[in-house]
Amino acid sequence: MRSGRTDAVTGMPDERLQGLAEDQAVRLLAAHGPNVVTAQRPVPLRARVLAQLRDPLIMVLLGAVVLTVVIGDYADSAVIALVVLVNTTVGVVQEVRADHAVAALSAMSAPTARVRRGGADKEVPSSDIVPGDVLVLGEGDIVPADARLVDAAALLVDESMLTGESVPVDKSPRSERPDDAVLRAGTVVVRGRGTATVTATGADSALGRVARMLDTRAEPTPLQQRLAALGRVLAVVTLALCVVVFLLGLLRGTAPATMAVTAISLAVAAVPESLPAVVTLALALGARRMAARHALVRRLSAVETLGSVTVLATDKTGTLTEGRMVVERVWTPAGEVSLTGAGYEPAGEVRVAGRPARSEEVRPVRALLTAAALCNDAGLRPPAPPPHQGGDERWTAVGDPTEAALLTAAAKAGCAEPGVLRDRWPRTAEEPFDSVRKRMTTLHHTPAGRLLVCLKGAPEAVLEPAVLDEPLALLHSARDRAAAYAAQGYRVLAVASAERDDAPARVADAEAGLRLLGLAALADPPKAAAVGTLADCRAAGITPVLITGDHPATARATAERVGLITEADAGDVVTGRALAAGEVPDLTAVRVFARTDPGQKLDIVQAWRARGHVTAMTGDGVNDGPALRRADIGVAMGRRGTEVARQAADLVLTDDELSTVVSAVEEGRRVYDNIRRFLLYGLAGGAAEILVMLLGPLLGLPLPLRAGQILWINLLTHGLTGVAMGAEPVAKGTMRRAPRPPGQHVLGDGLWQRLLFLATVVTAGSLTAALVARGAGAPWQTVLFLALLMAQLGVVLGLRDRLLTRENLFLPVAVAASAGLAAAALYLPALRTLLGTVPLSPPEAALALAGAGLGFLAARLSGRWRVADGAREHRRTTAGT
C-alpha cells in the first residue's frame, strides 16, 4: 500500500517521508549492526566444560580418580573417569540445547516496527531498523530507536522508563523546544501518531546507553532456586551418610583407600547432580512446545507458574468474542434499519422490517456511515489471492476492528470507497480517541471550501447538550435506543457532524453545536470455542473473570452467552464507577466488571493475589500494560495486541485464542509433573543405593557394591533414562485436578512419602536377591548389582502415567539401551574387568531381573495412591468453589 502522506504545513508531498530503499537498508544494517541494545555473547565451549567440572561433586570424583590411580586400582579409576566424561558431556549438551531453545524463543518474541521504505509501509523486526529509516508510529507502539519527528498528530509519549517523569510528554516537530521533536528508544506512544527519521540504533541509542550499565545475567527461575536449595540439603545429608558408610567399612577392616573411593562414588550416585541442567532443559523445551501450540513464552519462569494459575482474568473483545465487529443495526432520527453480511467483507444489504430498504430510507443511513468512514483510521484488506501461501482467506481489518466494521457497513449502504471519500473530503486535523474522552473528532475540507466536522464515540460522551445542538426529546430518545442496543449485547457508537465556515483554534473547540446523525449498533459474536474454554477452566480449578471497558449491559450479555454467568444472577456486573466509590467490599466475589480503567484492573488483580491466588490476565491495549505486569502471568494478544501489551506480558498468544491459555496451563503442569517425576525416580534410586550400602554389612554382605558398580548404575539410570523422563506426555486428568499451591514444596503433595516407599521396596528387593544368591553359593555381589539397577529401570516404566502410549518413545528405548548396557557389564569381558562382575547363569539372572518387576509394581502402586489423593483434593476444591 503506497503512502500518500504530505507535509502538514505546505500540503505538498514530503520526500523525507518516503523512507530508504531496500538496498540502502541492507547496506546500513551491515555497517551499523542489528538494532539490539545488548547482544548476548555466546558462551565458549571450554567455559561450559569448566563450569561442569567445577561442580563440587564432580571435583570430588576427579579426586577419586587421582586416589585410585595412586593405589593402583586402575579399573575403578577408568570407570570413574568415564562417568565424569559422560556427565560432563551430557551437562554441556543440555546447556547448549537449552540455550538454543531460549534463543529461538527470543527470536520468535522479538518486537516489530512499522517503517516506510521506498514509499511503502511495511512491518520489520525491530532489530532490522537502521539509521535513516522512517518510522510510522501509532498509539501503543514502542519507539524502536532514537529518532527525530518529521510529522505528528496529537502525539503524546511516555518517557518514564528513561527519565522517571510520570507525566507523558507532547511531541511535535514544530515545537520551539528542540527536545520536543526527539523520540528516544524504548519510550511508548500513549496517544496520536507520528512519522520520524531514525538517528541512532542499538547500543548508540538512549536505551542502549542505559543497558550498558545493567547486569544482563539471566536469573534462575523460582523452581531452579528451590531445587538448588534442595540439592544443597541432599548433598549435606548424603555426604554425612557416606561418612558413616566409610567408617563402617573401616571397622570391618576394609582398606581406607577402597572405602574412600566407594564413599565418594556413593555420594555422587545418590545426588542427582544434573538436576539443574535437566530443569533448564525441561523449561526451555516446554516453552518450545507451548510455542508450537500458539503460546509464546517470553520468560522461562512463566512455564512453571502457569501450572499454578487459579484465576484467569480475561477481556472481552477478540478474546471471548470474535473481534470481528459487524454493524447489524443503524438508528437515525428518521428510523431504524438492519444490515446483513458477516465479517469484514463489504457485501450485504440494508433492510427495513425484513425487506430491502427504499432509497429514501437508505439516505440518512448513508449520511451517518459516510461521516463514520471519514472519522476513521482503519482499512480493509481483501483476501489473499489463491496462489499466495499463508494468506488470509477472509477480508481482514487493518487497524481498529470497530472502525473497519464501519467501513464495511458504509460499503453495504452504497457509500463511496474510503479512498474516494478521503480524497473528496481531505482531513486537515484530528483529535484521536482516548479512554478518557471516549470520542474521536476529525476536520475535513469540503468540495465547497467549508470545514466538515465528523465525530463518533460512546453514546454517553456524545449524546450531551454540550456536544449536540438537538432538542432534548431527541437526545432522550437516542439515549433510550442506545441503552436498548447495549442491553442486547451490542456495542453502540453515536455519530454526529456539522459544517463550519472557519477552522477552530483547537479541534476540541469544534466538538459543540453538532447535528446527531444517529447510532450504529455493532455485534461482536462470541467465539465458538469460548463456552468450552471457560468450562475447561472450571474443570481445572481455574476461576474465570471478565474485565472489560464495555457498557455493563454489553458485558452482561456476552457473559451470559459464554456461560460465565446466568440470567438468574443478580448484581453480578460491577462497574468502574462502583469500584471508584468503594461500593464493592470484596472484589474476588465478582465475576464480571465493566467500564473499568487501568488502575481498577490493577486493583482487581491485586485483590485476587492478596487472597493467595495465582492470576493470569489477558490484554491487548496500552492501558492493559500495568495489569499485565502485576499479574503473575500476563497474557497478550499477538495479532491484534499493541507492542506495549506484548512487551509487558509473560505469554503472547499468536492466535489470539483464549483456549490457547488453557493449553499453556496444561503444558505448564506437564513440565512441573515431569520434573517431580524425575526427582522421585532419581532420589528414590539414590536413597536405595545408600540404604544398600548401610544395611548390607549388617546382613553379612561385607562390601555390597564396588565403586565402579555404583557409578555404572548411576550412569545408566541418571543418563538417558533420566533425561527422557522430561519428555513424558501430559498425564490423564491433568486438567481435571486443582492447581498446585504456589508455595508448595517441590517434594510436597505426598512426593516424599512415595520416595521413601519406592526406596524401601527397591532396597528390600535388591538385598533379598543378594541374600538368596549368597545362600545358593552364587556371585551375590553381581546379583545385587544387576537387581538394584534393573529395579530402578522398572521404577522408570512404572512411573509412566500412560504406560503403552506411543508418545515419547525415547523413554522405552532409553530403558532398553540401559538394560543392554547392564547385560554388557556382565558378559563383555572388558566391562567385567572394569566393574568386577561375573557372568550369571539363567536362574541367577532371573533372580536379579525380578527386581525390575518389583520396582515396576511398586511405582504403579504409589501412582494409584497419588491419583486417589488428587481426586479427593479436586472434589474438595470444586466443592469449595
Contact 158, 166 (CB under 8 A): no
Residue 591 CB coordination number (10 Å): 17
Alpha-helix residue ranges (DSSP H) falling in 727-841: 751-775, 780-798, 810-827, 829-835
Cα separation, 31 vs 18, whole angstroms: 22
Cα separation, 557 vs 537, whole angstroms: 20
Residue 501 CB contacts under 8 Å (≥ 6 apart), including other chains: 450, 451
Q: Which helix (H) or strand (E) holds 112?
A: strand 112-117
Q: In what order do the strands lie in the sheet with 592-594?
A: 295-297, 651-653, 633-637, 615-619, 311-314, 543-547, 592-594, 573-575
Grid coordinates in use for 645?
Answer: 501489551
Inter-CA distances, 87 with 216, 274, 617, 687, Å? 28, 8, 41, 20
Q: How many CA atoms lie within 13 A of 744 on its CB side?
A: 19
Inter-CA distances, 427 with 399, 457, 575, Å? 18, 18, 36
Task: Please give the angle made by the CA atoms of 473, 477 and 482, to the nearest 5 degrees.
Answer: 145
Contacts for 499-506 with beta carbons within 8 Å, 24 or more apart?
A: 499/446, 499/450, 499/451, 499/452, 499/453, 500/450, 500/451, 500/452, 500/453, 501/450, 501/451, 502/451, 503/428, 503/429, 503/443, 503/451
Short-list 334, 490, 337, CA closest to 402: 490
DSSP state of 217: P
Residue with cell 511398586: 858
Cα separation, 123 vs 109, whole angstroms: 14
Inter-CA distances, 291 with 102, 297, 652, Å? 11, 7, 9
Residue with cell 449520511: 367
Residue 871 CB coordination number (10 Å): 13
- Which residues belong to the active site? 315
Task: Please give the angle made by the CA atoms of 795, 799 and 801, to the nearest 5 degrees.
Answer: 155
Residue with cell 531452579: 224
What is the gyration radius of the CA atoms in the chain, in angstroms?
34
Cα separation, 848 vs 31, whole angstroms: 68
Cα separation, 702 vs 705, whole angstroms: 9
Q: How many helices (H) and strands (E) does the chain have?
A: 29, 26
Query: Can you say how many angstroms the Cα of residue 756 is from the centroid of all Cα atoms in its chain?
Result: 36
Q: Under DSSP, is residue 608 helix (H, G, I), strand (E, B) or coil? A: helix
Residue with cell 528387593: 765
DSSP state of 810: H
Sign of CA dihedral 226, 228, 233, 234: positive
